[in-house]
Amino acid sequence: MQITDQIIAEHGISKEEYQYILEILGREPKLVELGIFSVMWSEHASYKNSILQLKTLPKEGKMMLTETGEENAGVVDIGDNLAISFKIESHNHPSALEPYHGAATGVGGILRDIFTMGARPIAALNSLRFGNPQNPTVKHLLSEVVRGIADYGNCFGVPTVGGEIYFEDSYEGNPLVNAMAIGLLKHEDLAKSAAAGVGNAVIIVGAKTGRDGIHGATFASIELSEESEEKRTAVQVGDPFYEKLLLEATLEIIYAGLVVGIQDMGAAGLTCSSSEMAGKGEVGIEIDVSKVPQRESGMTTYEIMLSESQERMLVIVEPHNIAKVLSIFAKWDLDAVQIGTITDDKILRVKNQGVVEAEIPAEYLILGGKAPVYKRESQRPEYLDSLQNEDLSQINLDHNLNEILQQLLATPNIASKRNVISQYDHMVGISTTVEPGSDAAVIRIRESDKAIAASTDCNGRYCYLDPYEGTKAAVAEAARNVACSGAQPMAISNCLNFGNPYKPEVYYGFMECIRGMKDACLAFDTPVTGGNVSFYNESPEGAIYPTPVIAMLGLMQDFRKAQTQYFKTVGDKVFLLGPLAKTIGGSEYLKVIHHKIAGLPPRIDLALEKRVQDTVLELNEAGLTHSAHDLSEGGLAIALAESCFHPEQTFGFKGKFSHAQAAALCYFGEAGANIIISAAPEHQAAIQALAKKHQVELHELGEVTKEQSFIINDKIDVSALRLREAYETGITL
| Residues classed as catalytic | 44, 91
Q: Of 190, 192, 311, 206, which is closest to residue 255 (Cα–Cα)?
A: 190
**Residue 387 DSSP SS3:** helix
**Residue 168 DSSP SS3:** coil
| DSSP-assigned states of every residue in 230-295 | GGGGGS----HHHHHHHHHHHHHHHHTT--SEEEE--TTHHHHHHHHHHHHHT-EEEEEGGGS-BS
Distance CA 141, CA 144 (A): 5
Provide the phi-psi class of 172: left if phi over 0, else alpha when psi is between -120 and 50, else beta: alpha
Secondary structure of 550-601 in HEC code, one letter for each residue? EEEEEEECCHHHCCCCCCCCCCCEEEEECCCCCCCCCCHHHHHHHCCCCCCC
In this structure, the strands spanning 649-650 and 645-646 are antiparallel
Q: Are the C-beta atoms of residues 526 and 478 closer than 8 Å to each other?
A: no
Give, rounded to a whole angstrom, the gap between the first and last alpha carbons of the chain.
50
Measured at the CA of 362, the angle between CA 360 and CA 366, to 5 degrees, comes to: 125
Q: Count the neighbouring beta carbons within 10 Å of the beta carbon of residue 82.
A: 15
Measured at the CA of 572, the angle between CA 568 and CA 578, to 5 degrees, comes to: 100
Q: Are the C-beta atoms of residues 293 and 204 closer than 8 Å to each other?
A: yes
Q: Count the neighbouring beta carbons within 10 Å of the beta carbon of residue 241.
A: 13
Q: How many Cα atoms are found within 13 Å in the side-chain-facing hemisphere of 226?
A: 0
In this structure, the strands spanning 675-679 and 573-577 are antiparallel
- Main-chain phi, psi angles of 542, to 5 degrees: 135, -175
Encoded amino acid at 413, one letter: N
Cβ neighbours of residue 481 under 8 Å, at least 6 residues apart?
439, 440, 453, 455, 457, 552, 630
Measured at the CA of 604, the angle between CA 550 and CA 519, to 5 degrees, comes to: 60
